[in-house]
Amino acid sequence: MLSALGLTCVRGERRLFAGLDLAIDAGQWLHVRGENGAGKTSLLRLLAGLSQPAAGEIDWCGQPIRHADEQYRRDLLFLGHHGALKEELTALENLQFAAALDGAALAEPEAMAALHRFGLKGREELPVRFLSTGQKRRVLLARLLTRKAKLWVLDEPFTALDVKAVDLLAALISEHLAGGGMAVLTSHQAMPIPGGRELQL
C-alpha cells in the first residue's frame, strides 16, 4: 500500500495544499485533479521522493519512504510531464539508457517490441530530436513495458497522444492494475479505467 498522512506542500511563499491524506492498495489507482497551479505535479514529486513535504509522511508498505529508499525506487516508476529524453540518442538508445540508470540491462528485442507496440516501428534508430512531440511521448511511455515496477506515478501521461495511443495507454494501465499494480496519475480528462478514485486539489 501507498499512503500519505497530513501532507503539506509549500512552494516559495505559497502553500499549495495542507493536511492531505491518501491511500491506494494493489489493483487501485488515484486520479489527481485540480486547476493549473493547484499542486498536482508537486504532489506527484512528493510521492516519488523527489522532494520533501513541509509536513506529513508518505509510507510504502507501512514504512516511511525515507527509510525504504532503495526498495521504493525499485518498486516505483515515475514519468514526469516533461520527461527526460536525450535528444542525440535514438529511441532505442533512450530506452536502454533509462534501463541502465535503473540498474537493469534491457535486451534490444524487448526494447524494440515496446517501441513497436507504441507505434514507433521504423523510427527506432532515429535520433529523438527528429521525432514529433507525440512520438517523443511514446518513447517515454514505452518504459511502462520494459520497467517492472509495482507503482506507476505518471504526470499527464496522455498529453500529446492521439486517440489510438490514448486507448493503448489506458489498456496498459488497466493491465497493470489487474496484475496487482498501483498507479497515481494526473490528467485533465476522465479516464475509463476501473478501480479508480479521484483526488481533487
Can you give the residue ranges of every domain in the chain? 2-84+133-200
Grouping H, G, I as helix, E, B as strand and the rest as coil, residue 95 is: helix
Buried residues in 119-149 as b, exposed as e (16+ CB within 10 A): bbeebbeeebeebeeebbbbbbbbbbbbbeb
Phi, psi angle pair for 43, to nearest 5°: -65, -45
What integer is the mean pLDDT of 151-168? 90
15: its cell numbers: 502553500
Q: Does residue 155 register a pLDDT over 90?
A: yes
What integer is the mean pLDDT of 84-94? 93
pLDDT at 82: 67
Q: Rounded distance, CA 16 to CA 157, Å?
A: 22
Q: Does residue 38 register a pLDDT over 80?
A: yes
How is the chain split among helix, strand and coil, in percent rounded to 5?
A: 35, 25, 40
Q: Rounded distance, CA 27 to CA 183, Å?
A: 8
Q: Rounded distance, CA 61 to CA 150, Å?
A: 11
CATH of domain 2-84+133-200: 3.40.50.300
Q: Which residue has the higher pLDDT, 155 or 195?
A: 155
Rg (C-alpha) for the chain, rounded Å, is 17
Q: Does residue 121 register a pLDDT over 90?
A: yes
Q: Does residue 192 register a pLDDT over 80?
A: no
**pLDDT classification of 105: cutoffs 50, 70, 90:** confident
What confidence tens digit (pLDDT) does each residue in 21-37 have? 999 999 999 999 999 88
Instruction: Compute how many other C-beta atoms are within 10 angstroms of the C-beta atom of residue 60.
Output: 21
